[in-house]
Amino acid sequence: MSGGTWQSWVGPVLAILGLAVITLITRAFFMIPERELPLPDWLRRGLKYAPLAALAGVIAPEVLMSGGELVRTLADARLPAVLLAAGYYFWRRGILGTIVVGMAVYLPLHIGLGW
């Protein structure tokens, strides 16, 4: 058999199949029961904040860290872009405008000034 023995590919195949089964079960968990699962009020209230917490957990390190360390200079294009984009959002409450303002500040500073 070319490429090694069958034992060399059994492990990766089993790992892929196992991960596929785990993914299927966890994603379908709430669709399997025939009736709605009762959730305590505290959990229902907490789940309302889960998307915001996930977004903050992804964006905050990207904005505040560079190369695995905290940004130590204000000459980083991400900081003014985030501040002005957040200011726009609190002023107008528009997502598209927030993105446009953030990128309009970020790109000239990053590309033009090399921040």
pLDDT digits (tens, 9 = 90+) for 8-61: 889 999 999 999 999 998 888 777 778 887 889 999 999 899 888 998 899 899
Burial class (CB in 10 A: 0-12, 13-18, 19+), 110: middle
Q: Indicate the SS3 state at residue 65.
A: strand
**Domain segments of the chain as ranges:** 1-34, 37-64+77-114
pTM (two decimals): 0.58
